[in-house]
């Protein structure tokens, strides 16, 4: 559903009026298009030590390898007022105590006014681990609060996100660079204020990696794909080179067939709650495409009621579709060695499963359960060289959210740092990243696609 307010405050007379009245003016977000450059301008790398080769230099070298205009300026220098940074990348991996980050943080601040519209700020730091000394733990955890707060200060469609390296990971690892590539790109347009933990993960060949078709030769199954977010996920995975199997209930057969034809894939009419759903998915993927590499659990339903008015059938239906079906299908595929090499499972959670939502006790339970099973599945699938992650959308403009009363819908849109709802493609881009070989170092994580619409998230 279109956001008429967003369009009005960014065009014509209503744009001028909104500016004079001081009304919220959400920016038009830059989303991916073929041939688009990775960033909107040069990239500033801060955090290095003069005269010493360090992680900041290694990050700068990697960015240069992507044919970007990369600058490293001395601490305390005055930015060129005519320059507009497409991104600021802050490398904080070597900090041992809080005062070690002062120059880096102040360098970011000195350049923020020069950040272009739809620009990016990305921090690269290390995750806290058991056994860290108090000062080291304070420093690493402090980056979390800094990044989330900074993201709330950015304007003009700019976003701030962070990469947290585990102890085994290094800034030059392919999975770390793939996460940086995603956060710098317009594919992360509605991902804001998030920190993604990245480990070294299974090795993969980054030589001549095709960023435009990272899923070439892979077979992906998407449930709930007849419309909405699921259909956009299917289109995006196909765009990135995957052979796609779209799955939905028989009642949605016509719509499902249209999506399958559009993406050059195949359709499987199936109720995911069926006891043999996993077996049928595997049989279809192997028979029609030769294997199964990616499974996207998108199928989901709403049956909203206050708990005092909740009927058993409303509770049970939501749990069956949103949670039990995922558990049963995962269990079958893992037990039957159903996945091909380097598999990826991506499940749809929700910010309702993180913060809760009035009238959604069943939905909130199911989506929090998705997060729980994702974390528990991660080590199981890692044993066969794979990953399991979840994406948690916030307010996304779909047929489902279009049914929300108008005033409540406007409030939900303006509540995020980006002051607007996301689009189904925003969720699809995050899923495509987590389904790609580049995400092999990301496992058991929940990536929120919410425009930073939760307090503290």
Q: Is 363 a catalytic residue?
A: yes
What is the sign of the dihedral through the CA atoms of 110, 114, 118 and 123?
negative
- Tell me if 319 sits within 8 A of 259, measured CB to CB: no
Closest CA to 222 of 202, 252, 197, 201: 252
Residue with tokens 């989303």: 31
Measured distance CA(184)–CA(86) in Å, rounded: 9
Measured distance CA(204)–CA(254) in Å, rounded: 39
Cα dihedral angle (26, 30, 31, 35), rounded to 10 degrees?
Answer: 170
Catalytic residue among 204, 363, 395, 433: 363
CA atoms within 13 A of residue 250's CA, in its CB half-sphere: 2
Q: What are phi and psi of 246, to 5 degrees?
A: -100, 135
- Tell me if 452 sits within 8 A of 417, measured CB to CB: yes
CA atoms within 13 A of residue 79's CA, in its CB half-sphere: 22
Measured distance CA(186)–CA(167) in Å, rounded: 29
- Tell me if 291 sits within 8 A of 297, measured CB to CB: no
Measured distance CA(194)–CA(183) in Å, rounded: 10
Tokens describing residue 428: 């699809």
Closest CA to 449 of 389, 368, 367, 393: 393
User: What positions carry a catalytic annotation?
Assistant: 363
């Amino acid at each position: 559903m279109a956001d008429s307010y967003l369009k009005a405050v960014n065009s014509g007379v209503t744009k001028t009026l909104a500016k004079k009245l001081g009304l919220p003016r959400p920016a038009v977000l830059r989303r991916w298009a073929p041939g688009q450059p990775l960033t909107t301008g040069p990239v500033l790398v801060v955090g290095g030590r003069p005269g010493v080769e360090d992680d900041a230099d290694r990050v700068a070298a990697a960015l240069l390898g992507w044919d970007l205009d990369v600058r490293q300026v001395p601490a305390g220098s005055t930015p060129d007022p005519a320059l507009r940074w497409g991104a600021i990348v802050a490398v904080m991996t070597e900090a041992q105590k809080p005062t070690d980050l002062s120059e880096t943080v102040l360098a970011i601040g000195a350049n923020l006014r020069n950040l272009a519209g739809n620009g990016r700020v990305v921090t690269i730091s290390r995750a806290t681990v058991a056994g860290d000394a108090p000062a080291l733990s304070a420093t690493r955890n402090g980056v979390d609060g800094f990044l989330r707060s900074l993201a709330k200060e950015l304007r003009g469609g700019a976003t701030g996100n962070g990469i947290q390296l585990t102890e085994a990971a290094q800034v030059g690892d392919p999975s770390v660079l793939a996460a940086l590539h995603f956060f710098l790109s317009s594919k992360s347009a509605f991902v804001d204020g998030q920190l993604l933990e990245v480990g070294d993960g299974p090795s993969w060949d980054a030589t001549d990696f095709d960023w435009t078709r990272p899923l070439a030769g892979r077979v992906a199954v998407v449930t709930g794909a007849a419309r909405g977010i699921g259909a956009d996920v299917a289109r995006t995975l196909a765009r990135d080179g995957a052979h796609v199997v779209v799955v939905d209930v028989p009642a949605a057969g016509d719509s499902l067939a249209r999506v399958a034809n559009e993406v050059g894939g195949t359709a499987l009419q199936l109720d995911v709650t069926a006891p043999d759903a996993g077996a049928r998915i595997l049989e279809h993927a192997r028979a029609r495409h030769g294997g199964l590499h990616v499974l996207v659990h998108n199928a989901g339903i709403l049956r909203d009621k206050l708990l005092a008015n909740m009927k058993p059938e409303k509770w049970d239906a939501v749990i069956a579709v949103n949670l039990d079906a995922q558990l049963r299908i995962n269990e079958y595929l893992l037990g039957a060695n159903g996945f091909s090499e380097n598999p990826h499972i991506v499940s749809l959670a929700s910010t309702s499963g993180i913060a809760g939502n009035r009238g959604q006790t069943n939905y909130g339970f199911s989506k929090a359960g998705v997060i729980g099973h994702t974390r528990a599945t991660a080590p199981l699938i890692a044993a066969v060289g794979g990953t399991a992650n979840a994406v948690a959308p916030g307010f996304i403009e779909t047929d489902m959210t279009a049914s929300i009363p108008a005033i409540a819908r406007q409030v939900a849109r303006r509540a995020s740092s980006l002051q607007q709802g996301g689009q189904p493609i925003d969720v699809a881009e995050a899923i495509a990243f987590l389904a790609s070989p580049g995400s092999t170092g990301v496992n058991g994580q929940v990536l929120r696609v919410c425009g930073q619409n939760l307090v503290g998230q």
